[in-house]
Amino acid sequence: MIVHLLLLGTGSVAALMLLLWCLHLPMKNAAIVDAGWAGGLVILAVLFAAAGHGDSTRAWLMAGMASVWGLRLGLYLLLTRVIGHPEEGRYQELRRQWKTKIPLKFLAFFEFQAVLCVALSGPFLFSAINPAPGLSPLEYVGGALWLVAICGEVAADMQLHSFKQNPANRGRLCDIGLWNYSRHPNYFFESLIWIAYAVFALASPWGWIGLLSPAMILYFLLRVTGIPATEAQALRTKGDAYRRYQQTTSMFIPWFPRKPSSQF
């Protein structure tokens, strides 16, 4: 059953990414892949819940959490970074670095996101095939942690969007609200959401494998495509203002601001 579900899920998300790659060509905006990544995980969670033959309460509760998270994030990314917006600087930088065969390289990049979706879907899969009736204390803890994390992520995104919408803030960096305590509160709460999924899945047989999901999310956010790429772009566009922000504000975990150095 697990192999069948994974193959079905892989085919579905790969088809989604192929469609989005085709759409991005005339749009000239590869940021659509970020919304597709969130949507792909929603597809996997719902597919597993529908075909997993586990306890329906557990399966659909996990699918519901994944759907609320993924649809909100996907819609937010579409409206703030894709529709009516120029391509993000980090994707423009990829185009400059790749130089040749850019469409094919983006195809590989899009399909890698499909593979990543499947690799991250462990908590959804193991929760969906667990036949045990009722919810365990671990699942209640996971659900409560998810609720706190999703509220934090929504707040961070709303604060950033509101800041950018104010013409008086044009060219400035956002350091209000949660952004005064972390340079990347959205990424922090995103990782917390995945920890919540993993905690929820721990109540299911083989659910411990789901711990790989938040581990991968943290690795990519902290070391690869998340914070490193975002901060590199911020330094290119904001310069010394962002360097001062780096000095005073926690990179990831929200904490009280530090006093700035006299260096700047």
What was the pLDDT predicted at 261? 64
In this predicted structure, what is the pLDDT of residue 90?
82
Query: How far apart (Å, rounded) are the C-alpha atoms in residues 16 and 41?
Result: 11
| pLDDT number for residue 1 | 79
Q: How far apart are CA 27 and CA 71, in angstroms?
A: 21
d(CA 251, CA 264): 19
For residue 71, is it left (φ>0), alpha (ψ between -120 and 50) or beta? alpha
- Widest CA span in the chain: 62
Q: Where are the domains of the chain?
A: 1-134, 135-258
First to last CA, the chain: 59
pLDDT of residue 154: 96
pLDDT, position 263: 55
For residue range 77-112, what is the model confidence (pLDDT) as tens digits?
999 899 999 998 889 988 999 989 999 999 999 999
What does the DSSP 8-state code read for residue 78? I
Both tokens of 23, joined, read 């759409």
Mean pLDDT (10-residue bins), the chain, 264 residues: 92 98 95 96 97 95 98 93 89 90 96 96 97 95 98 96 92 93 96 98 96 96 88 89 94 90 56
The DSSP H or E segment spanning 233 is: helix 227-238
- Predicted local confidence at residue 177, as pLDDT: 96
The whole-angstrom distance between residue 22's C-alpha and the CA centroid of its chain comes to 22
